[in-house]
Structure 1
């Protein structure tokens, strides 16, 4: 394992942003910057051994600062949407920053993906830390977050370990927002996706959950491998409303603190396959519906609809506004507790 560091660029206020390169010596290489913990590149060999970057991103700091649609970021304090940016905790109402129409998305307009994290190389891993003040984006309590990236020494896998503590009750739902393309360029709609989930979360017109529903007989049934293009143009109300897939799936496997399969993505063109394993109860599949050609990647190619997809491990969207039960596990963190979550991406 080798980890190197270099200056990536400077922010308008003069702060230096550093880029870190992790290489496991087995063909897997990851680059990340301390702005937002952004993964700027992830190189994986194909079936013939040729390496390609399988995540979307930019080749300069200004684009990440000015126009990043969450490419590669650590998402927090709360991943996904909270309805009207409001919730009640211990009898007290809270109003969050609204950055997605009437809702709060991915922690607000100054969510964790926009912040400069402290970065430290620790042995064979890269540790990011962030101190989020009480009232940050409207969230209660000071939150201290730690996110660790590590590459396995004996396989092509990237592990993310999240931890957080607080000094007052708050809500936490950390995740990662990589746009994957296992071909390395072009569309992902011919990729084959498997999600071991019998239910998905229906949403309203502003993508707030209404209920969990069966995937049986719908375009949302990915229990067997299926090309994404198969149903993405169907006139199903949920597909039409989201302009594709932008939904949460409730995983079938029980939540017991261990890792279990959340998704498998296969690219017939390159032979690459990625498995996502997580301790989280759910996963968001977003099919890159709002990439419109206005963003340009390092190769000079414009990113268009369906050129990348996200698989965000998480608790279900808007959980703070639902009664806690098996379908809606709590996202509340209290003083003395430690929030922990792990997601592993394995490449074959």
Structure 2
């Protein structure tokens, strides 16, 4: 295992570093200190490198993109309805950044900061302290994110936090996958360990209702994105996915092509998928998707809906969540 480091750019007068971890199979992951971003996931097959995730080769594109490409988002990933919630009957109202709602922790979420970094046992460890005065959440949160790559090609991202007050904590990596050899993602097969999904309102905020899967959303067996979009159009006329599936803990999903697959696992209960083209928004508007976002987290807006999961972080107690992504070659 080898870890290298180089400067990738500068953000707010601070150097942004890129770390690359490479194992003996020449599988590589690259991580930025800016937004604790998963910058690349490269595998080597018969001497040829393949990138499995959407990425940019310069910092400016990461700063400009509205798609949060590869970034760590939080304190709470996804939307919080009306940008408000209660903890122990105390009401909190935060500045909205998505209409009347809060998305990805607000305008001062994790994705807007450059992290301190180090390497420990071939793992990249990123840390930052987020102040209540900056983001409006109760208490000051000390966050540690650890990226690792195993000899068996499994990527693990762990999020550990401790806070000075009882608060909310539900981060994820906003990563987009395409494991095919094509520039579009339509031939990518998807299987999701889910029997239900969240209903949302016109602002994409969960209503609290959990729905059984109709044919367009049924990924219990492998289905290509092309077939899924056809089913979705027949179902309800929609032409894109931006949806949350209720998943069982541990095994979450698999995506595959005829050459390779990635298995997803998590210790939380939700998966958000999103068809997109973060490299070319105009093509995305024309439904020419080049990737699928796969965001593992506790169900969005959990604080406002019973049964969605617990995202409360107790005062002074460290909590850790881990998402895993395992690459395997299909012979």
Greater shift after overlay, 133-142 or 33-42? 133-142
2:54/2:279 contact within 8 Å kept: no
2:251/2:265 contact within 8 Å kept: yes
- Which residue pairs with 1:144 in the alignment? 142
Partners in 1 of 2:96 and 2:24 — Cα distance? Answer: 44
Against the structure 1 CA distance between its residues 239 and 44, is the aligned structure 2 distance closer, same or farther, given a 3 Å change threshold? Answer: farther
Against the structure 1 CA distance between its residues 68 and 318, is the aligned structure 2 distance closer, same or farther, given a 3 Å change threshold? Answer: same
1:36/1:114 contact within 8 Å kept: yes
Unaligned runs of 5+ in 2: none
Partners in 2 of 1:317 and 1:275 — Cα distance? Answer: 22
1:287 match: secondary structure: strand
Partners in 2 of 1:285 and 1:293 — Cα distance? Answer: 17
- Which residue pairs with 1:261 in the alignment? 251
1:189 match: secondary structure: coil
- Which residue pairs with 2:311 in the alignment? 331
Determine which of 142, 155, 169 is the counterpart of 1:172: 169
Partners in 2 of 1:236 and 1:168 — Cα distance? Answer: 48
Partners in 2 of 1:120 and 1:20 — Cα distance? Answer: 9
- Which residue pairs with 1:194 in the alignment? 191
Q: Does 1:250 align with 2:246?
A: yes
Determine which of 225, 232, 239 is the counterpart of 2:222: 225
Against the structure 1 CA distance between its residues 184 and 87, is the aligned structure 2 distance closer, same or farther, given a 3 Å change threshold? Answer: farther
Partners in 1 of 2:305 and 2:237 — Cα distance? Answer: 24
Against the structure 1 CA distance between its residues 289 and 21, is the aligned structure 2 distance closer, same or farther, given a 3 Å change threshold? Answer: closer
Deviation per CA, 1:113-154, whole angstroms, max 9, x where unpaired?
A: 12111111112100011101124322111111111000102x
- Which residue pairs with 2:9 in the alignment? 9
Partners in 2 of 1:239 and 1:88 — Cα distance? Answer: 36
Give 1:237 shift: 7.2
Partners in 1 of 2:203 and 2:327 — Cα distance? Answer: 34
Q: Does 1:343 align with 2:323?
A: yes
1:262 match: secondary structure: strand
Give 1:288 shift: 1.5
Deviation per CA, 1:200-246, whole angstroms, max 9, x where unpaired?
A: 1121111111211111x431110111111113243467662xx5111
Deviation per CA, 1:27-81, whole angstroms, max 9, x where unpaired?
A: 21011110001122110134x4522111112111112122352001111100011
Partners in 2 of 1:283 and 1:30 — Cα distance? Answer: 22
Against the structure 1 CA distance between its residues 239 and 138, is the aligned structure 2 distance closer, same or farther, given a 3 Å change threshold? Answer: farther
Unaligned runs of 5+ in 1: 297-302
Give 1:337 shift: 2.2
- Which residue pairs with 2:206 in the alignment? 209
Partners in 2 of 1:115 and 1:132 — Cα distance? Answer: 9
**Which TM-score applies when normalising by structure 1?**
0.88
Partners in 1 of 2:113 and 2:272 — Cα distance? Answer: 23
1:63 match: secondary structure: helix
Give 1:97 shift: 2.9
1:312 match: secondary structure: strand
Residues paired across the two proteins, number: 326
Against the structure 1 CA distance between its residues 307 and 267, is the aligned structure 2 distance closer, same or farther, given a 3 Å change threshold? Answer: same
Determine which of 105, 112, 115 is the counterpart of 2:113: 115
Partners in 1 of 2:97 and 2:197 — Cα distance? Answer: 24
2:229 match: secondary structure: coil
Partners in 2 of 1:291 and 1:9 — Cα distance? Answer: 19
Give 1:276 shift: 0.4
Against the structure 1 CA distance between its residues 54 and 267, is the aligned structure 2 distance closer, same or farther, given a 3 Å change threshold? Answer: same
Partners in 2 of 1:231 and 1:157 — Cα distance? Answer: 27
- Which residue pairs with 1:277 in the alignment? 265
Greater strand share, structure number: 2
**Which TM-score applies when normalising by structure 2?**
0.92
Greater helix share, structure number: 2
Aligned residues: CA RMSD? 2.2
- Which residue pairs with 2:26 in the alignment? 27
